[in-house]
Amino acid sequence: MINATQIRRGMVIEIEGELYSVLETSHITPGKGQALMQTKLRRLKDQTLRDYRFRSKDKVEQVYLEEIEMEYLYKEAVHFIFMNTETYEQIRLSDEVLGDAVNYLIPNVVFSVEMYEGKPVGVKPPMTIDLRVTKTEPYLKGATQTASNKPATLETGITINVPQFIKKDDIIRIDTREDKYLERVKK
């Protein structure tokens, strides 16, 4: 157990039997009364957001997750099949566990699967990933510098903003933490 004032961004904590990832923290000290920890949390089970305020004297259970490298293989009905890269054991994950990582699922990419008491609770994609552009608008001649980006749909279905020179079938590198274009990959 830790004091609520020790909660930091990136920690995983347990509240009322549910696991939450801490996204933001703010230590509030009002003129009167006790200090508070205002937090923004993401429930690992279904990726819902929650604001939670702790009193400074509250105690919280910090949870440590085991991270296992797993390779995405394929989709089967409503489940996604991953394989442990060390033991070759396969597991099925739902889109609830995957969360936003579902936008980066292409076969043979290695993800970091977070496990708690032997059960998967979250998936982290690699920091960068290369994806093919399946749809985008053609280059606009005379486009000003302020309108230098355009939407592009990638092979996994995610849409991000890319520079004007990107065209269909280009392969681009994406920062998965911010869903942001980084560069065009040489073929």
> Which fold, 66-124?
OB fold (Dihydrolipoamide Acetyltransferase, E2P) (2.40.50)
Averaged pLDDT for residues 17-38:
85
Q: What is the pTM of this model?
A: 0.71
CATH 1.10.10.10 fits 129-184, yes or no: no
Residue 69 confidence (pLDDT): 93
Query: At 70, is the pLDDT very low, low, confident or very high (cuts 50, 70, 90)?
Result: very high
Angle made by CA atoms 163, 168, 166, in degrees to the nearest 5: 15
- Mean pLDDT check: name the lowest of 97-106, 139-148, 169-178: 139-148
**99: buried, middle or exposed (CB in 10 Å: 19+, 13-18, 0-12)?**
middle
- Under CATH, what is the fold of the domain 2-63? SH3 type barrels. (2.30.30)
- Residue whose structure tokens are 């510098």: 145
Query: What dihedral angle (degrees, nearest 10) is formed by the CA atoms of 26, 99, 112, 67?
Result: 60
Does residue 98 register a pLDDT over 70? Answer: yes
Asked if domains 2-63 and 66-124 share a fold, the reply is no
Say what percent of the chain tops pLDDT 70: 95
pLDDT band at 129 (very low <50, low <70, confident <90, very high): very high
Comparison of pLDDT for 52 and 122, the residue scoring more: 52
